[in-house]
Amino acid sequence: MPNILQRINHRLTIKIEKFLGLDFTSVIATEKLGLDKTLVSKGSPSGNIFLKKLLQDLAISDKDRILDIGCSKGSAMRIMNKFPFERVDGLELSGKLAEIAKSNFEKLHVENTSIHHINATEFKEYNDYNFYYLYNPFPAVVMESVMQEINRQNTLNEVKYIIYNNPVCAEVVLKSEFKKIKTYPDMWGNGIHLFSNK
């Protein structure tokens, strides 16, 4: 549960974004988006100092590409764009959230970012990325399908990393070809796990 200062900061951020014509922070209930809450978690902003510190700890280069799986309005992608990734892309099931994310990055004139409006289990371009970011976007049954797809597409056995914030389904990742490297702190005490397949 957020404390009073976090709640005040959240409201202030929403007002500032609204003034600038942006919307990274406000949250829309899953039901209002027409999504099944048993298969999709609520899209919440996770672009914050904790994600920034984790990314600073990695040797990000202009050859690296990151995919935010369940990107919502693009809050985490906004932080990722502060690093020299060649590509910072997002997957989003909700058409409404995907359009908001696209609008946000167009207004910020960000050019190395695309939002894919697609079910994560049907995405066929996972191998275009070597980093994946998730902020608990879905339950274990969906996570299993996504992990199978990531592993199946990695035909060249390249090194891949998963940054998993609020890692509710961490055991699903560990049952695949990935191992946990480190746990970083986050705002709510759930931790951000870093996994690699090497």
Average pLDDT, stretch 80-109? 98
Q: Which of 33-37, 51-55, 171-175 has the lowest mean pLDDT?
A: 33-37
pTM of the model: 0.94
Best mean pLDDT range from 12-26, 28-42, 85-99? 85-99
Average pLDDT, stretch 64-82? 98
Helix (H) / strand (E) element for 180: namely: strand 179-184
Helix (H) / strand (E) element for 49: namely: helix 49-56
Q: Give the model's confidence band at 41: pLDDT under 50 very low, under 70 low, under 90 confident, else very high.
A: confident
Q: Is the pLDDT of residue 2 over 80?
A: no
Q: What is the pLDDT of residue 9?
A: 86
Mean pLDDT in the chain?
95
Q: How far is CA 89 from CA 37, 48, 116, 191, in A?
A: 24, 18, 8, 23
Structure tokens at 9: 């900061």
Q: Is the pLDDT of residue 57 over 80?
A: yes
Structure tokens at 61: 């280069």
Helices (H) and strands (E) in the chain, counts: 6, 7
- Residue 40's nearest CA partner among 121, 105, 101 is 121
| Domain topology for 28-196 | Rossmann fold (3.40.50)
Structure tokens at 60: 């990000």
Helix (H) / strand (E) element for 184: namely: strand 179-184
Average pLDDT, stretch 15-30? 92
Average pLDDT, stretch 74-84? 98
Chain segment 167-188, per-residue pLDDT in tens: 999 999 999 989 999 999 998 8
Average pLDDT, stretch 130-144? 97
Q: Where are the domains of the chain?
A: 28-196
The label of the residue with tokens 């995405």 reads: 123
Q: 181: which residues sit within 8 A by CB, 6+ positions away?
A: 194, 195, 196
Q: Is 116 helix (H, G, I), strand (E, B) or coil?
A: strand
With pLDDT > 70 as the criterion, what percentage of the chain qualifies? 99
With pLDDT > 90 as the criterion, what percentage of the chain qualifies? 84
Structure tokens at 179: 């191992």
Higher pLDDT, 82 or 2: 82
Q: What is the pLDDT of residue 1?
A: 64
Report the alpha-carbon angle 28-192-124, nearest 5: 70
